[in-house]
Amino acid sequence: MTISRDAFLRGLPAAVDHAAFRVEDGEIGSLDPRRPWRIVLEPLADLRLGMIVLPRQRVRIFLTGYDGDATRRFLERFELYYRRAGG
**CATH number for position 49:** 3.30.1370
Contact yes or no for 60/28 (Cβ under 8 A): no
Q: Could you give the number of structural domains in the chain? A: 1
Asked if residue 84 has pLDDT above 90, the reply is no
pLDDT at 7: 94
Question: Rounded to whole angstroms, how far apart are CA atoms 61 and 4?
Answer: 17
> Residue 10: pLDDT above 60?
yes
Predicted confidence at residue 35, as pLDDT, reads: 87
User: What's the mean pLDDT in 74-81?
Assistant: 95
Task: Name 18's bridge partners.
Answer: none
pTM exceeding the 0.75 threshold for the entire prediction: yes
Domain range for 21? 5-82
| Digit-coded pLDDT (tens) for 14-64 | 999 999 999 999 899 999 998 899 999 999 999 999 999 999 999 999 999
The answer as to whether 28 is a domain residue is yes
For the four alpha carbons of 40, 45, 47 and 52, in that order, the dihedral sign comes to: positive
Reference 78, options 20, 24, 17; nearest CA is 17
Residue 87 lies in a domain: no
Q: How far apart are CA 87 and CA 68, in angstroms?
A: 24
Question: How confident is the model over 63-74, as a mean pLDDT?
Answer: 95
Residue 49 placed within a domain: yes
